[in-house]
Amino acid sequence: MNKIKDLEWFCPQPFMNTLVYRTVAPTGCCVLKDWPKTGIKQKYGTTDPKELHNKEEYVNFRNEFLNGGGPLTQNHCTVCIEQEKHSSLSHRQIYLEKFTGKNGEYREHLEDLEEYINTDMSEPKFLSMEYIAPSNFCNLRCNMCGPANSSSLAQENKDIGLHDAFGMRAFKDKPSLLKEKDNVEDYADILKNLVELKLVGGETLAIKENYDLMQLAVDLDVSKNMSLRITTNGTLTPKFGGKDVFDYIPHFKDCQMTVSIEFWGEKNNYIRFPSKWEVILKNAKKFAYGRKTRVMFATTVNALTIGYLPEIADGVYELRKEYESKAISGNLWSWASGSLVWGAGNQYAVTSIPLDIREIYMDKYFEYGDFMKKEFEEWKKLYYYLQDMPFDEELHKEMMTDIQLRDKHRGTCLTDVFPEWEPYYEKL
C-alpha cells in the first residue's frame, strides 16, 4: 500500500485538485508546463474537469507520482523542480503541506488521499477547485504579468507594438480573452464535495462568473462546508447583482483574501500600474475586519522586487499589530518564494539582475537580519536564490527594453523609483 511519506516526489494536486482555466482544458495545477505538446491538454474550451481525469496521458501522469517519476513529470513539473532546486518553496510543497503539515488545512483528509491513491482512481475525488474565470479583465498593467491574465496589459501591448509578446497571438483584434461566458452550473457536482474553492483572475473581484460560482455554492447549501480563497489586486470591491464579496463571505466556512502586491508603499504603484497604494491598504484593512476572513499579502518575486521583500515583511508585521494575529497573516514569505516568475513576463526573472545590483539587494537582507530571523526565517531561501542564480544578459536586455517601452507609454521612469538601475537604463 502506497503511503505518502514513502513516495519519492509526490504532489496531491493531480489527484485532489482541479484547475478550470478559461479557454483551455481543465488540469490539476496552475503551473504545469507545455500542455499542448504532450497531450495532457485534450482540447480548448471544455468546462468539465472530469473529462480529463481518465485520459490515458493524465492517468500516466498521475501514476508517475506513485512510481518515482518519469518523462511526464520531468516535462510538465519544471516550475516546481526548478523552485526546489534553488531552495525555493514550490507549489507542490505548498499543496502537500496542506495534507502532511502539523497544522495542514487538509490534515483530516490525509487518510482519504492515501486510500484514494491505492484504488484505480477511475472516479475523480476533487477536494479543491481553482477557478480561473472566462474573462481576463483586469484594471492593472503589472509589468511581469501576461495578456492572458490582464485585458489592460493586452491592450497596452497592442498600443506599444508588442504583437509578438508571449500570448498575444490569442488576442487578434481585441484585448479580451474569453469564452464569452461560462455556465457555472456545470460545476455543481464538483462543488458538492469541495473543502476549498479558490477564485483567481484577471482581477477576481471584477469578474461576474466568480460571483455566480459563489452564489451557486450558497444555493446548493455547500458553501458552509468549504473554505473560500480569493486572490485580488485589492483595488476594487464592485457589486454584481447588488452584492459584493462581503455579502458572500459569511456563507463560507472561512475566507482567505490574498492581496497581491510587489512593494509596501508607493513603489507598488510603479510595477502594478496604475494602482494606488492607499486604496489597496484601505481595502486590505476592510477585508481584515471580517470575522471569518484572514488577509494574506503575496508577491511575485522578480528582478525589481526581490531586493525590497524585507520591507514588505516589515510592513506586514506592523499592520498585524493593528489586528488580532489571525486577521493578518504573517505567511507572506512562503507564498512569495513560491511565485518566482515564469512564462509571460519571464524577462523579469531574478536572472535579469546584474551582479552589482544583487550585491545592493543582498546587503539589504543583512540590514533586516535580526527582524527576518525572528519573524520570517524562511526568506533566507530567497537570499540564496539571489546569490546563486546566474546572470542572463539577454534576458536582462529584454527586461530593460520592456521597461523602457512601458515607461514611455505610461509617462513613468524606472530610475525615479529605483535609482540603483540608473547605469542600465536608457531613456527612449
- pLDDT of residue 377 exceeding 70, the answer is no
Chain segment 32-69, per-residue pLDDT in tens: 776 544 445 444 445 567 777 888 888 899 999 999 99
90: DSSP letter: P
**What is the rounded average pLDDT of the residues 319-343?**
64
289 and 162 in a common domain: yes
195 and 64 in a common domain: no
- Which pLDDT value is given to residue 181? 60
26 and 174 in a common domain: no
CA-wise closest residue to 233 among 211, 258, 198:
258
CB atoms near residue 306 (< 10 Å): 25
Q: Give DSSP secondary structure letters for 298-333.
A: E----TTTGGGHHHHHHHHHHHHTTS-TTTB--THH
357 and 394 in a common domain: yes
| 66, 93, 126 - which closes a domain | 126
34: Cβ contacts below 8 Å, ≥ 6 apart:
75, 76
Q: Cell numbers 503511503 label which residue?
A: 3
Helices 78-85 and 91-100: crossing angle in degrees, nearest 10, is 80
137 and 119 in a common domain: no
CB atoms near residue 397 (< 10 Å): 13
**What is the rounded average pLDDT of the residues 300-328?**
83
Which one of 27-36, 43-52, 356-365 scores highest in mean pLDDT? 356-365
Give how many domains the chain has, as a whole number: 2
- Which pLDDT value is given to residue 386? 82
Helices 380-388 and 355-367: crossing angle in degrees, nearest 10, is 160
Instruction: Please give the Cα distance from 289 to 327 (Å, whole number).
Output: 7
| C-beta of residue 265 within 8 angstroms of C-beta of residue 300 | no
279 and 137 in a common domain: yes
Chain segment 179-227, per-residue pLDDT in tens: 556 678 888 999 999 999 999 988 999 999 999 999 999 999 999 999 9
221 and 291 in a common domain: yes
223: DSSP letter: G
- Output the domain CATH number for residue 394: 3.20.20
Within 13 Å of residue 34, how many CA atoms lie on the same side as its CB? 11
**What is the rounded average pLDDT of the residues 70-74?**
90
> Which of 111-115, 152-156, 326-330 is predicted with the least confidence, judged by mean pLDDT?
326-330
- Which pLDDT value is given to residue 36? 45
- pLDDT of residue 252 exceeding 90, the answer is yes
> Which of 25-39, 272-286, 373-387 is predicted with the least confidence, judged by mean pLDDT?
25-39
258 and 111 in a common domain: no
Residue 257's domain comprises 132-424
| C-beta of residue 94 within 8 angstroms of C-beta of residue 338 | yes
Instruction: Please give the Cα distance from 11 to 95 (Å, whole number).
Output: 7
- Which pLDDT value is given to residue 174? 57
- Which pLDDT value is given to residue 49? 74
Q: Cell numbers 531613456 label which residue?
A: 427
CA distances from 94 to 13, 27, 306 (A): 10, 18, 20
- pTM as predicted: 0.89
- Which pLDDT value is given to residue 388? 81
| 85, 109, 126 - which closes a domain | 126
173 and 62 in a common domain: no
The mean pLDDT of the chain is 84
- Which pLDDT value is given to residue 182? 66
CB atoms near residue 195 (< 10 Å): 18
Instruction: Please give the Cα distance from 203 to 364 (Å, whole number).
Output: 32
| C-beta of residue 26 within 8 angstroms of C-beta of residue 19 | yes
Which one of 182-196, 271-285, 381-395 scores highest in mean pLDDT? 271-285
Of 159 and 217, more confident? 217
pLDDT interval class at 311 (50, 70, 90): confident
290 and 199 in a common domain: yes
331 and 302 in a common domain: yes
| C-beta of residue 329 within 8 angstroms of C-beta of residue 335 | no
| 86, 108, 126 - which closes a domain | 126
CA-wise closest residue to 184 among 240, 116, 246:
240
112 and 161 in a common domain: no
CA distances from 332 to 66, 67, 320, 372, 374 (A): 31, 33, 12, 12, 14
- Which pLDDT value is given to residue 34? 61
- pLDDT of residue 275 exceeding 90, the answer is yes
- Which pLDDT value is given to residue 332? 56
